[in-house]
Structure 1
Amino acid sequence: MKVVVLGCGGLGHVHADAYTKLVGVELTGVCDLQMDQADKLSEQTGAPAFYSFEQMLANAEFDVISITLPSYLHKEYTLLAAKARKHVICEKPMALSLEDADEMMKCCENNGVRLFIGHVVRFFPEYVSLKQSLDSGAIGRACVAHASRAGSHPGDAKPWYKDRARSGGVIVDLMIHDLDFLRWTLGEVKTVYAMLSQNEQLEYALVTLQFESGAIANVEANWGFPGPFHTKAEIAGNAGVVMANSLKSSSLQIHKHANGTSAPTVAIPESPAFKSPYELEIEHFIRCIRDGSEAIVTAKDAYKALEIAYAALESARTGKPVQL
């Protein structure tokens, strides 16, 4: 199977590296408008460098495209790829509006190609274990959950993150990981209530979710946190509690720049597992394309996570809970 990567930033490197390790997969192109970025990733992987999507489409043979561009470009290039009959693996958030997300799903379906969205938290072993602990009945019926993630402001490295019209802000870009995980674990969300605080250095959100099951979850996301990037999650049931903390859950911790340089970069969560969650995710998506099976996280799941995120933004704007 032949694949290309569109966008040669931090996550572009992650996707390209994962493809080079997969048996039966050939990376046939990497592409970025910033020629030096494309050339650098080309040197690292051996794949040809291209400097526009159109150039790559005309000159590279591929079945699948990884879209690791800024969020505001996801829709445009997903539609172009789908119309060219290419399967799409796109980073989260799926899009910056529900209308755009819906258009992406319909375009891929109409052109007979698969659409996968990179909600990678579902592939982190600790989060999988949290869900398995609940599903197995080990902690009884879920009553209360808490999830949080915090790190430096990515806008310090990539200014477009500070423009909510282009990034969606901390809820749509960062918290959406936990919104997807909690819906995956606890079921459909009934009510969303949110508070949001923002200035040049900090963006903090606190969201309370009420689930149709009756469970309640509090979710925090913080851009501008002065310490290292970290995540926490816990689920309390009527028979016990299960929890994970990225700062405490492993004796081995990895902290490195996203693109291997000393330049300012956007933090990418790491796992000390033999295979990174990103490798597991991409390997899974490729397998789904090969055998036609349904993905662990579907485009519809990504749409629902986006729906919760925008309900949270609406709640923060009005000061009122939003019913889904």
Structure 2
Amino acid sequence: MKVAVLGCGGMGAIHAGIYASLANVQLTGVCDANRQLADTLAEQTGTVAYYSFDDMLANADFDAVSIALPTYLHKEYTLEAAKARKHIICEKPIALSLEDAREMMNACEENNVRLFVGHVVRFFPDYIHLKQTLDSGKLGRPAVAHASRIGAHPGSWFHDEKLSGGVIVDLMIHDLDFLRSCFGEVESIYALNAKQEELDYALVTLRFENGTIANVEANWGYPGPFHTKAEIAGSAGIVRANSLKSSSLQIVKNKASSDSTGSVVIPGSPGYRSPYELQLEHFIRSIEDGSEPIVTAADAYKALELALYARESAATGKAVYLKGGNAQ
């Protein structure tokens, strides 16, 4: 499988490095308008640097492309890649609006290419264990869940909610997607959101149609290390995960001065593979054999929908009630 990477910042560097290491993948190009970023990443991964997507489309041979650009550029380049008949692996969130997300999905369907969205939390061992324990029935009837995702403000374009979607759409969306994979569709959403110059904090309460209540916290502005926590409690037990306690090694990649993607934190242990590697390997396999991925474009759409409903609730001060997945 020949793959290219569009965007050479934090996430693009992770994607390119993984592709360069996979035995069944050939990295044929990396692209960024920032020539220094593109040249450096190309040298690190042994591939060719391009400075425009049009140039890469015209001169690089690839079957799939990772789009690791700021969120506000996802739609534009997904549409271009789909028209060029390239399979697409796009970083989350899929888009900033449901209309844009649907247009992206339709373009991929019309051009007979696959669209994958990087909701990588589904591939983190702690979260896999949480869901496996829930699905095993050991917890009994699920009742309450908590999830939090906390770190420093990434700065740059993330300050502009029109470009990033804010902490709910960009960060909390990981946990909204994961919890929906655990408990199904949401019945109601109530959200609070506090913002200052270097702070974007949100607290969201979800009631699922199966009766489970979930409290979800996301914070850009925490002065300490990035960390996540999650727990699921049922009638017969409780299971917890805490990234600060479960990891014997924590890798924090600081952003370069020219990198506007923010820091990328990969909590883990020397004994297991990067969740990003597991995710990309899984997506490549799905392209090769046509199988359904663990997280689909439709899942990414639903996660965005929940995030936007949460923003609506925070803005109005009222709960949003859903029936059959749609606001009432």
The residue that corresponds to 1:286 in the other structure is 284
The one-letter amino acid of 1:22's match is: L
The residue that corresponds to 2:185 in the other structure is 188
Q: C-alpha offsets along residues 144-166 of structure 1, whole Å, 9 cap, x if unaligned? A: 000001000001xxx10000000
Normalization by structure 1: what TM-score? 0.96
The SS at the match of 1:181 is helix
Q: Distance in 2 between matches of 1:235 and 1:254?
A: 24
Q: Distance in 1 between matches of 2:5 and 2:69?
A: 9
Q: Distance in 2 between matches of 1:77 and 1:314?
A: 27
Q: Distance in 2 between matches of 1:22 and 1:90?
A: 19
The residue that corresponds to 1:302 in the other structure is 300
Q: Distance in 1 between matches of 2:22 and 2:256?
A: 21
Asked whether the 8 Å contact 1:151–1:267 carries over to 2, the reply is no
Cα 1:301/1:2, change in 2 over 3 Å: same
Asked whether the 8 Å contact 1:96–1:167 carries over to 2, the reply is yes
Q: Distance in 1 between matches of 2:29 and 2:278?
A: 21
RMSD of the TM alignment (CA)? 1.4
The SS at the match of 1:247 is helix
Q: Which runs of 5+ in 1 are unaligned?
A: none
Q: Which runs of 5+ in 2 are unaligned?
A: 323-328
The residue that corresponds to 2:35 in the other structure is 35
Normalization by structure 2: what TM-score? 0.95
Asked whether the 8 Å contact 2:11–2:261 carries over to 1, the reply is no
Cα 1:34/1:124, change in 2 over 3 Å: same
The one-letter amino acid of 2:251's match is: H
The residue that corresponds to 1:222 in the other structure is 219
Q: Distance in 2 between matches of 1:162 and 1:197?
A: 13
Deviation at residue 186 of structure 1 after TM alignment: 1.1
Asked whether the 8 Å contact 1:196–1:206 carries over to 2, the reply is yes
Deviation at residue 225 of structure 1 after TM alignment: 0.3
The SS at the match of 1:13 is helix
Q: Distance in 1 between matches of 2:71 and 2:258?
A: 24
The residue that corresponds to 2:142 in the other structure is 142
Deviation at residue 29 of structure 1 after TM alignment: 0.2
Deviation at residue 254 of structure 1 after TM alignment: 1.7
The SS at the match of 1:323 is strand
Larger fraction in strand: 2
For residues 158-307 of structure 1, the aligned pairs below 5 Å read 159-250=156-247, 252-258=248-254, 266-270=262-266, 271-272=268-269, 273-307=271-305
Q: Distance in 1 between matches of 2:60 and 2:104?
A: 23
Q: Distance in 1 between matches of 2:86 and 2:112?
A: 9
The one-letter amino acid of 1:34's match is: N
Deviation at residue 222 of structure 1 after TM alignment: 0.2
Identity of aligned residues (%): 66
Asked whether the 8 Å contact 2:152–2:226 carries over to 1, the reply is yes
Give aligned pairs, total.
320
Q: Distance in 1 between matches of 2:281 and 2:172?
A: 24
Residue 59 (structure 2) pairs with residue 62 (structure 1): no
Q: C-alpha offsets along residues 187-245 of structure 1, whole Å, 9 cap, x if unaligned? A: 11111100000010111000000000000000000001011000000000000000000
